[in-house]
Structure 1
Amino acid sequence: LNCEFCGSCVSVCPVGALISRPFKFQSRWWALNKVKTVCSYCGTGCQLTLGVKDNKVLTTIYDENQGFHNGQLCTRGRWGYQFVNSDKRLTTPLIRKNGTLTAATWDEAMAVVTKRLSEEKAGGGTTVAGLVTPRLTNEELFLFRKLFKEVLGSDNLDHSAGYAHDALTKGARESLGYSASSAVIADIQKTDLLLVVKSDAYETHPVLGFEVNLGVKRQGVDLRIVSDKRGKLSKLPKAVTYVHKPGSELLLFKAMARVIFDENLADAGSAAVTGLAEFKKSLEGCAPDQVAGICGLTATDITDLARDYAKAEKALILLPLGLGYPGHGAELVQALINLALLTGKIGKEGCGVLIMGEKNNSQGAADLGLYPTAGGKNAAAIIEGCASGTVKTLYIAGENPVISYPNRKLVEAALDKVEFLVVQDLFMTETAEMADVVLPACSFAEKEGTFTSAGKAVQRVNRAVKPVGLSRSDFDVFNQLSSALGGAPISADPETVFAAISAAVTAYRGLSFTSLGDGAVYEVSGAAKFVPVAGASVTMEEGKLALVTGSALNHCGTLSRYGEGPMLVCPEGYLELGREDARKLGIAEDDRIKVTSAAGEIVLKAKVGSRMPQGVVFAPYHFGEQSVNNLSTGAPVTWVSIGK
C-alpha cells in the first residue's frame, strides 16, 4: 500500500470506525466548536472546518458540501494543523541584549522597533527594507505595503525571494495586462487537453492534483506532462509524460510554437494580437530538429505535442510556482501564454494558463503589489544591500530566507551584517535566531481576514481560537507601527481595510467583506500581447549530476515543519536518484550521502526509485538541517557530485 495520508478514508468512513491518531481520545465530536475557514498552506484555497475545544484546534472536520473540492483535503491540509497548538510557538516579544535574545514586553519591543523605523523615515526611507510572507491575509499585506510605501517612503519591499512571484507580477502582467491567471480551477475538468508543466504540480498543489485525476478519469481529459522527471500524475490513465533535460523547458515551448507557425495551425484571431511578427521572428533556430537534442526529446515528440495542443478544441496549461522552482519565472510563463494566444486558447472555458502560486495568499500578494513598483530593491537586491550596507534596517514578517532563499551562506552573511533586523513570526526560525527584535505573531486560526487563491477566489478567514500567549496578529502590529510613525489612521477592523482594498485594487472592486460567502472569483481583463523570450539552454558540467529542487508532497514552504502530521511522514530532507545512477555510485536506499556543489556541501539520506531519469537528482527545499540551499544559488539547475 502506497498511502499518501490524505485522510479521505477517515472522512468518508460511514460508521466512524476509522479515526485519526492525533484526535484519538481528544474529544467527542458533538463537543467541538466547528469553525469554517481557509487552509493556510498552498495556493489552492481549500476551505476547511476546524474542530475546536478549550481554545485548541483538535482536528479538521470533513464537510462534503464545503468548497469546490467537496471537503476533501490533502495530507498537509488534513494533518498539518498542529502547528497552531505547537509548544514551539513564540509567546512573548524578544529583544537582543548583550548578544542574547531576552524576553520583553510588547511596549519595550515596539518602542525599540518604532525608534529605529522613525530614524529610517527621517532619512528618507532609502535604507530600510521589508520581506513579507504571502501567508498573511490580504488585509495584513495591504497594511504592510502601506507601512513601507506610504509611511516610511520605501519601495524596498518584496516577498517569496522575488523570483517565485515573477511569473505573475512580471510575466503575466506584461503578456496579459494583469498579474493573475487567465484560467480558473473549474477549467481543469472542463478542458479537452491538459498540459501540465512539471509532474511536481501534484506535490505543490495536491487537491488540484485531485481535480486532474477527476478530469482524466471522469471527463476523459487528455493529460500531457512536460517535466524533468516522472511523478504521480504520470500514472494516470493514458497520461503521456515528456521527460526533458532539466532547464530546457523554454526551448521546448518555443519549438512547439514554431511547429504551429510552420504547419499553419495558428488561430486566425492571433493575427490581431500585438507582437505577432516579432514573436515569430524570435523562433528562428527553434525548429524541433534543431532543439530536440538539447531538450532530450525527439523531434517527433515535440511536433506531435504541438499539433495535439493546437488542434484541441479546449486546452489548458498548469504551471506551479514556488521557492523550489527558480526556473519558473517570467519568461517561462510568457512562453506558455504565447502558445495559448497563438492557438486562440485564452479567454475561453477550459482554456488558458493556470499559474499556481505556492502559498495560500500568493495571488493576493501579487494583486496588492507586495514588490518593488517604483525602482526599489527586490528580494535579491535587499539581501545584497544588507551585505553591502545600503540596507541598514530589515523587517521580515513571516519569511524564512535563511532556509528558503537560494545560497544560505550568502543570506546568513548578509543578515549577520545588517545593522538592525526585526523578525515577526510564529516560531523561532533560523532567521528569527539572527534578529535584534523578535515579535510573536498569530496563526491563521487566530485571525480574521481574506485569502485569494490561485484561481482568483477571494475567501473569508475566520478566527477559531484566541492568540497563543502574548502573540499578536500581524494586522494589529502593522496598525500600531503605522500609527506610531505618523501614518493616517486605519481602522482596526479587517472589514474596513478590505473596503479600502476593494477601492484601490481594480480586480476587487465590487467585492464586499460581508458578502464573500463561500468565496468570490474576480474577473480579469487586459490587453494581451506576444512577448518573445530568450530560452537559453543550460550548460552541462561534465561528470556531475543535475540537481533540481522542489516540493515534497507532505510539505509546503517551511511552515509544515512545525506540523506533527507532515513531520511524522516526512521528517527530513533527502536526495532522490534513479536506480541506474544509484547502482553506478554504489548507493542504496537510506544511505547517508555527501552532496557537493560549487556553493557548498551537505549530507542527505538517499531515496532510490524509478521516477528520476539518469543523470538527474531531486531534493525538497523545506528542511532546516542540511538545507538544500547550501548547494543552490538560484539557478534552475545546480550541478553536483555525490559520494558516501
Structure 2
Amino acid sequence: MTNSYEEIKDNDVLLVIGSNTTETHPIIGLEMKKAVRRGAKLIVIDPRKIELVRWSHDHLQLKPGTDVALLNCIMNVIIQENLADKTYIDERTQGYPALARSLEGYTPEYGEEVTGVAREKIIDAARTYARASKAGIYYTMGITQHTHGTDNVFAIANLALMTGNLGRRSTGVNPLRGQNNVQGSTDMGCVPPFYPGYQSVASPEVKARFERLWRAQLSSTPGLTATEMVDAAAEGNFRALYIKGENPVVSDPDMQHTVKALQNLDFLVVQDIFMTETARMADVILPAACFAEKEGTFTNSERRVQRVRKAVEPPGEAREDSWIIASLSSSMGYDISYDRIEDVFQEAGKAWPALGGMDYQRLEHRGLQWPCPTSDHPGTPYLFKGAFPKRIPAFTPVDYRPSEELPDSEYPLVLNTGRELFNYHTGTMTRRSPAVNKVMPRGYVEIHPEDARRLGIDKDQLVRVSSRRGSIDIHGLVSNRPLQGTVFIPFHFTEAAANMLTNTAVDPIARIPELKVCAVKLEPIENT
C-alpha cells in the first residue's frame, strides 16, 4: 500500500475494485464504513453485489475481466471534462500525451458495450473520483488474477497519477495483501527476480553486494514463479520441490494438472503446521511452528513491520521455520548460524536500507512502516510525499483485451472464484474450527435467479459444475449477488474444489494465473 490503514477514514472518495473487502479484509472494511459514515463517497467496481455495495454511492457491476476497458473509459471522461490534475501531471509525471491519445476510443458508450456498465454510471464515477480532494483506490486479487492483471494495475496507477492522488495523505494505490506476511515475504526476496528490498538479481552491482554480505556465489538468472515450477514439473524439467506453508493442490488452478505435476517430481518436501492435501503427497514432511510458537517479525499490507513473540512452545517435533531452514542449509554445506533471531532482522537492515533504522527495541509496541532508513526516522505512513524517488513515474498506456477463456455454447457461464467471510485460503486452519464449520459447513455455487430458472436449478439443489478441465458436485445457492451469466464459488472446500475448474493461463509479465475468469456449465444432478 502507498498509504496507511488509519488514513482510510479520512478519504472523501474510496474506489474499491476487485476486492470483497468486508469479507476478505474485515477490519479494513470497517475503516471504509467509518469513512462513509463521515461523509465519504464509496464506489464499488465488482461483478458481484458484495456486502460493501450496501454502503456504496454507486456499484459498477462490470462483466468479469473487463477492468481495463472500464478504467480507461473513466479516464476518458476525466480528460474530456478537463478534470485531470494538469499541475501534478506537468510537475511530477511523464508520458501523459501518449496516454491521452491511447484513451481516445474509450468513450462511455464503448464502455457500456464492453463492460455492461451503463454509460451514466461510468461518467458519474469519473466525476466523483476526479473531483475528490482525497481519493484512495483499494484492490485485491480480483484485479491481479487475470491474464491481463498487470495491465489492470497499470490502469489503476494511470488513474491515480492523472488525478494527483499519489504522494498525499488519504489517497494512493493500495493493494490489500491476501495473506499474513505476504508483504514481508516479498520484501525479503521471496519472488524470483529480486533479492531482499526488490533489488534485481540481474544487476551486477546488486549481485556483488549480496555476494559480499552472504559470502557466497549467486546466480544472476531469475528463478521460476510458482506456476512456472508446476508447469516445469509436469513437463519433467523440474525434479524436486520444497514447499513451505502453501497448499497448491487446492489453491493452484486446474487441480488435476497440479497433482500430476507433483506426482512427476523425484522428490517433494512440504513444511507446514498441518497435514494439508499437498503434504499428503510429500516424500518428507517437516513439521513447522505456527505464529504463536516463534519469534520474529511480520510485515502487513501498509508496510508496517511488527514484532512476533513466542507465546507457547511448538508441539512435538515441530520447529521454527528459521531453525529448519538453517539446519538444512548447514547440512548441505552452507553454514547458517545466528545467536538470536534478531540477528536475522539486523542482517535484513544491512541488505535493504529501507529497514536500516529498525531494531527490535523500536518495534516493541506498534511497529514501524518502511522506508525507515535511520535510527531516528519515524517511519513512512505514506509514500512519495513531495517527490518520487529515483525517477519520474511514466504513464503506461494499456489496451483492453478479453480474458483467455470466454463462454461459448458448450460452456455458457463465467466462473469467478474468491473467499467468503468465515473461511481462509484453502481452509487448512479455519475448517478445523467446529464453530466455523457450523456456520459454513460446505461449499456452494452462487447462481443468478434467471440462470437458475433457465437451467431448472432449485434452491439448495446439488448441481454439477464443469469446465474443460474437470467437474465438481456442489450445492447451488440462488442469489442476486452474481451478475447474470456468471457464477461464484469460494475456493476453500477441497471436497468441492473450485480450482478443479480454473484455467492455468497466466499473465505474461507477472505470471499470475487467471483464477477469476473461466468458462463453465451447470447441470442439476438429477438431470445428469
TM-score by length of 1: 0.69
**CA displacement 1:532-557 (0-9 Å, x = unmatched):** 22321344424611110011111121
CA distance in structure 1 between the aligned counterparts of 2:335 and 2:106, rounded to whole angstroms:
55
Tell me which residue corresponds to 2:46.
227
Tell me which residue corresponds to 2:161.
341
Tell me which residue corresponds to 2:457.
587
Matched residue SS, 1:590: coil
Tell me which residue corresponds to 1:428.
275
Of 244, 248, 261, which residue of structure 2 is paired with 1:397?
Answer: 244
Distance 1:497 1:435, change over 3 A: same
Distance 1:641 1:586, change over 3 A: same
Q: One-letter code of the match for 1:616?
A: T
Q: One-letter code of the match for 1:562?
A: R
CA distance in structure 1 between the aligned counterparts of 2:163 and 2:493, rounded to whole angstroms:
41
Tell me which residue corresponds to 1:552.
420
Q: One-letter code of the match for 2:517?
A: V
**1:340 Cα deviation after fit:** 0.5
**1:326 Cα deviation after fit:** 4.2
Tell me which residue corresponds to 2:408.
541
Contact 2:144/2:153 (<8 A) preserved: no
Contact 1:248/1:295 (<8 A) preserved: yes
**1:562 Cα deviation after fit:** 2.8
Tell me which residue corresponds to 2:212.
none
Contact 1:324/1:551 (<8 A) preserved: no
Q: One-letter code of the match for 1:472?
A: R
Tell me which residue corresponds to 1:52.
none
1:406-421 equivalences in 2 (<5 Å): 406-421=253-268
Contact 2:143/2:149 (<8 A) preserved: no
Contact 2:326/2:335 (<8 A) preserved: no
Tell me which residue corresponds to 2:65.
247
CA distance in structure 2 between the aligned counterparts of 1:588 and 1:395, rounded to whole angstroms:
45
**CA displacement 1:484-511 (0-9 Å, x = unmatched):** 2222433152211111112212322211
CA distance in structure 2 between the aligned counterparts of 1:322 and 1:287, rounded to whole angstroms:
24
CA distance in structure 2 between the aligned counterparts of 1:604 and 1:615, rounded to whole angstroms:
18
Contact 1:204/1:320 (<8 A) preserved: no
Distance 1:505 1:429, change over 3 A: same
**1:588 Cα deviation after fit:** 2.3
CA distance in structure 2 between the aligned counterparts of 1:466 and 1:615, rounded to whole angstroms:
51
**1:565 Cα deviation after fit:** 3.2
The sequence identity of aligned pairs, in percent, is: 37
Tell me which residue corresponds to 2:205.
none
CA distance in structure 2 between the aligned counterparts of 1:368 and 1:265, rounded to whole angstroms:
40
Of 519, 529, 545, which residue of structure 1 is paired with 2:367?
Answer: 519
Distance 1:326 1:405, change over 3 A: farther
Contact 1:229/1:612 (<8 A) preserved: yes
**1:328 Cα deviation after fit:** 8.2
Distance 1:588 1:281, change over 3 A: same
Contact 1:282/1:532 (<8 A) preserved: yes
1:6-405 equivalences in 2 (<5 Å): 181-198=1-18, 200-217=20-37, 219-236=38-55, 239-268=57-86, 269-272=88-91, 273-321=93-141, 325-326=145-146, 329-373=149-193, 374-405=221-252
CA distance in structure 1 between the aligned counterparts of 2:135 and 2:147, rounded to whole angstroms:
23
Tell me which residue corresponds to 2:471.
601
CA distance in structure 1 between the aligned counterparts of 2:493 and 2:147, rounded to whole angstroms:
20
Q: One-letter code of the match for 1:629?
A: N
Contact 1:185/1:354 (<8 A) preserved: no
Contact 1:199/1:230 (<8 A) preserved: no
Residue correspondences, number: 462
**CA displacement 1:167-197 (0-9 Å, x = unmatched):** xxxxxxxxxxxxxx21211221111001111
Q: One-letter code of the match for 1:358?
A: G
**CA displacement 1:197-249 (0-9 Å, x = unmatched):** 135122211111111111111x111111011011111112x531111111111
Tell me which residue corresponds to 1:641.
521
CA distance in structure 2 between the aligned counterparts of 1:225 and 1:267, rounded to whole angstroms:
23
Where does structure 1 differ by over 4 angstroms across 4 or more consecutive aligned residues? 322-328
CA distance in structure 2 between the aligned counterparts of 1:431 and 1:326, rounded to whole angstroms:
24
CA distance in structure 2 between the aligned counterparts of 1:303 and 1:386, rounded to whole angstroms:
48
CA distance in structure 1 between the aligned counterparts of 2:182 and 2:269, rounded to whole angstroms:
22
Of 604, 611, 617, which residue of structure 1 is paired with 2:481?
Answer: 611
Tell me which residue corresponds to 1:501.
348
RMSD (CA atoms): 1.9
Matched residue SS, 1:556: coil
CA distance in structure 1 between the aligned counterparts of 2:442 and 2:339, rounded to whole angstroms:
40
CA distance in structure 2 between the aligned counterparts of 1:323 and 1:286, rounded to whole angstroms:
19
Distance 1:572 1:492, change over 3 A: farther
CA distance in structure 2 between the aligned counterparts of 1:443 and 1:313, rounded to whole angstroms:
43
Tell me which residue corresponds to 1:457.
304
CA distance in structure 2 between the aligned counterparts of 1:625 and 1:494, rounded to whole angstroms:
39
Tell me which residue corresponds to 2:215.
none
**1:323 Cα deviation after fit:** 11
**CA displacement 1:296-331 (0-9 Å, x = unmatched):** 012221122111111111101110237994468322
TM-score by length of 2: 0.84
Matched residue SS, 2:103: coil
Contact 1:549/1:621 (<8 A) preserved: yes
**1:418 Cα deviation after fit:** 0.8
Matched residue SS, 2:495: coil
The runs of 5 or more residues in structure 2 that have no matched partner are 194-220, 371-379, 504-512
Q: One-letter code of the match for 2:402?
A: S
**CA displacement 1:122-151 (0-9 Å, x = unmatched):** xxxxxxxxxxxxxxxxxxxxxxxxxxxxxx
Matched residue SS, 1:365: helix
**1:480 Cα deviation after fit:** 0.7
**1:439 Cα deviation after fit:** 0.9
Distance 1:322 1:313, change over 3 A: closer
Tell me which residue corresponds to 2:397.
532
Of 559, 562, 578, which residue of structure 1 is paired with 2:448?
Answer: 578
Tell me which residue corresponds to 2:431.
561
**CA displacement 1:607-636 (0-9 Å, x = unmatched):** 122222211110011121121111001433
Q: One-letter code of the match for 1:265?
A: L
Distance 1:486 1:199, change over 3 A: closer
Q: One-letter code of the match for 2:433?
A: G
Q: One-letter code of the match for 2:312?
A: V
Matched residue SS, 1:515: coil
Contact 2:148/2:401 (<8 A) preserved: no
Q: One-letter code of the match for 1:467?
A: P
Matched residue SS, 1:514: coil
